[in-house]
Amino acid sequence: MQYYNTILETIGSTPLVKLNKVSAGCKPLILAKVEAFNPGGSIKDRPSVQMIDEAEKQGLLAPGGTIIEPTSGNTGTGLAQLAAVRGYRCILVCPDKVAPEKINLLKAYGAEVVIVPTSVSASSHESYYSVANKLTLEIPGAFQPNQFVNPNNPKAHYLTTGPEIWKQTDGKITCLIAGMGTGGTISGTGQYLKEKNPAIKVIGVDPEGSIYSGDMAQPYKVEGIGEDYLPRTVNLKIIDEIIRVSDKESFAMGRRLSREEGILAGGSSGTATVAALRIAETMGKDDVIVILMPDGGRGYLSKMFSDDWMQSNGFLPAPGQTYYVKDLIERKMAGGRIPGIVSVQSEDAVQKAIELMEQYQIDQLPVIGSDGHNAGSINDIVAMQVVFERKDPSQLKVSSVMGRAFPQIAENEEIDRVYRAFRLGTPLVVITKDDKVTGVLTKYDIMSHMRESVGRTVAAGKGSPVAGVRK
Ligand code: PMP
């Protein structure tokens, strides 16, 4: 017979699954550790058991005792599940913004849920921290694990998550990617892996609006990661880098994971995957990247997996509002301010580049190869140098002085791609169809497009008026 004595014995030993489609074109092997396989549905089953086992050993929790924790998230589920198995009373304190499905989930495991107001400061006697502390003091035999300070939270990952990844990758992992809430996951797993091989890169992932990556604390939508203070459970010493990812990118990737990989994961798994793909660009084919995917997507069906919710939060364009690069190029041509492409051929003389830059008052141009592809770039500094060195620009070919090509984006891509390229610092983006250059876009093209589309939305009676909108 093959069976487990309780459901708690099935915690851990989660599978590593290769990503195939969202990672297309990446050199390293990218593997996801899918923590939704835990019986409570998340990685938080691991620290829940470790924190309670240790409390029992130390005599802080005894039969008939009560577990109390301020949490609405995955730790609540882990604790409620454990309390059911071991016969403890479990009281979870949740802010009133928590979705009814989550409250019902905790109640399904037999936990008692105390709801407190969301809109009070952490120091108020009504806050969920204060209420949990008060209940712990008042109820005899009560124990509060307190995942944000309890060393057994990171220890759970040092003892289980880290060794599993080391064994499953046969010691070949070169990079770990994990989101940071309490920081327990990354600190415990990262410490174990670095002890095995100090060369392993440990990369933290953080939402915009969280202090871990140095942002100003502000609201964001992705759940389970990011903080507005530094919890004691995070060990920054073992983290090599922290990558910041927007809600929009996290949710878009989360949705791709289910549609393209068949992995129904939560938003923070999307965040970690976005970061992994960015890191993958800097790594080679022998690298092995492991992404921790903390939970599954069923808890988010009415949020990130709902088109309505995505649209009303601005994470998906409203119907009929998707803009493709092609639309922008067409509009730019129609405006007639400047020809669609001011460029030179690689075989042209540098003289021609100088004349075009003067005529249109621009300081750089794309260079197009003889077969129409995006071959390189030339700027005013290079042209000036030619003149300064007393070379004859009418005799010198552009190909002999040109620099690296500008980033290239296909006409049928969404405009977001162009925006992201500018955010990474390029002054210009080259637009192509079938790998042949069809246009060029600058930041000003994007800005005037955005102004015009906001203008249309306002004119149609949607959205709020924006100062300076060109109608
Ligand atoms: N993602 C989700 C969905 C979570 O619930 C958590 C736990 N808060 C995390 C990521 C981060 O894990 P940790 O607290 O170990 O940093």
Higher pLDDT: 126 or 469? It is: 126
Percent above pLDDT 70 for the chain:
94
Assess whether 447 and 422 both reside in one domain. Answer: yes
Residues 279 and 345 in one domain: no
Query: Has residue 388 been placed in a domain?
Result: yes
Q: Whose CA is nearest to atom 9 of ligand 1?
A: 224
**Residue 463 pLDDT class (50, 70, 90 cuts):** very low
Confidence of residue 469 (pLDDT cuts 50, 70, 90): very low
For residue 56, give the H/E element and its range. Answer: helix 45-57
- Shared domain check, 337 and 248: no
Do 37 and 50 have their domain in common?
A: no
Inside any domain, residue 422: yes
In a domain, 431, yes or no: yes
Does the C-beta of 295 come closer than 6 Å to ligand 1?
yes
Ligand 1 centroid – CA 224 distance (Å):
5
E-strand stretches of 208-355: 241-245, 288-293, 344-345
State yes or no: pLDDT of 354 exceeds 90. yes
Question: For residue 3, what are the CA distances in angstroms to 6, 10, 65, 386?
Answer: 9, 10, 28, 79
The pLDDT score that the predictor gives to residue 454 is 54
Residue 18 bridge partners (DSSP) = 31
Q: Do 298 and 172 reside in the same domain of the chain?
A: yes
**Could you tell me if residue 409 is inside a domain?**
yes
Q: Which of the residue ranges 167-181, 376-390, 402-416, 435-449 has the most confident prediction, judged by mean pLDDT?
A: 167-181
171 and 32 in a common domain: yes
Q: Is 208 in the pocket of ligand 1 (CB under 6 A)?
A: no
State which residues form the domain around 331. Answer: 325-458
Q: Which residue has the tokens 């609405």?
A: 72
44 is catalytic: yes
Cα 273 from Cα 83, distance rounded (Å) = 33
Mean pLDDT of 179-184: 96
Residue in this structure with the two tokens 């939305």, named with its chain if needed? 457
Are 72 and 105 in the same domain? yes
> pLDDT by residue (tens digit) across 315-339?
987 777 777 888 888 777 776 555 5
Q: 133 and 36 in one domain?
A: no
Q: Answer whether residue 287 is part of any domain.
A: yes
Which residue has the CA at smallest separation from atom 11 of ligand 1? Answer: 181
Please tell me the pTM assigned to this model.
Answer: 0.74
Q: Report if residue 226 sits inside a domain.
A: yes
Last residue in a domain, options 110, 143, 176:
143
> Model confidence over 7-66: pLDDT tens digits?
999 999 999 999 999 999 999 999 999 999 999 999 999 999 999 999 999 999 999 999
The total domain count for the chain is: 3
Q: How would residue 453 be classed by pLDDT, with cut points 50, 70 and 90?
A: low
Determine which residue's CA is closest to atom 7 belonging to ligand 1.
224
Among 156-170, 173-187, 376-390, the least confident range? 376-390
Diameter over CA atoms, the chain: 92
> Is 310 contained in some domain?
no
The residue nearest atom 4 of ligand 1, judged by CA position, is 224
Same domain, 188 and 76: no
Residue 111 and residue 251 in one domain: no
CA atoms within 13 Å, Cβ hemisphere of 122: 3
> Is any atom of ligand 1 closer than 6 Å to the C-beta of 254?
no
C-beta of 181 in contact with ligand 1 (< 6 A) = yes
The Cα 248–Cα 91 span in angstroms is 34
CATH number of the domain to which 397 belongs? 3.10.580.10
Give the residue carrying structure tokens 């250059």: 437
Q: Which residue pairs, CB below 8 angstroms and at least 24 apart, start in 50-54?
A: 50/152, 50/153, 50/155, 50/156, 50/159, 51/145, 51/147, 51/150, 51/152, 51/153, 51/156, 52/79, 52/82, 52/86, 52/145, 53/152, 54/152, 54/155
CATH of the domain at 235: 3.40.50.1100
CB of 188 shorter than 6 A to ligand 1:
no
Residue 461 scores a pLDDT above 50: no
Cα–Cα distance, 349 to 365 (Å, whole number): 13
Q: How far is CA 219 from CA 3, 113, 130, 231, in A?
A: 45, 25, 22, 18
Helix (H) or strand (E) holding 202: strand 201-207
Q: Are residues 172 and 121 in the same domain?
A: no
Domain boundary among 305, 339, 359: 305
List phi, psi (to 5°) of 18.
-70, 135
Interval between CA 446 and ligand 1 midpoint (Å) = 36
Which of 79, 187, 268 to probe ligand 1 with, by most ligand atoms within 8 A of CB?
A: 268
Please tell me the predicted confidence (pLDDT) of residue 140.
96
Determine the pLDDT at residue 459. 40
How far, in Å, CA of 226 to CA of 249, rounded?
A: 15
Residue 311 CA from chain centroid, whole number: 19
Structure tokens at 430: 């080259």
For residue 225 and ligand 1, the question of a CB distance below 6 A is answered with yes
Q: Which of 21, 27, 44, 436 is catalytic?
A: 44
Q: Are residues 297 and 165 in the same domain?
A: yes
182 lines ligand 1 (CB under 6 A): yes
The residue whose CB lies within 8 Å of the most ligand 1 atoms, and thus the one to mutate among 35, 158, 185, 205, is: 185
Of 77, 112, 143, the position where a domain reaches its end is 143
Tell me if 291 is assigned to some domain: yes
CA 159/CA 274 separation, integer angstroms:
27
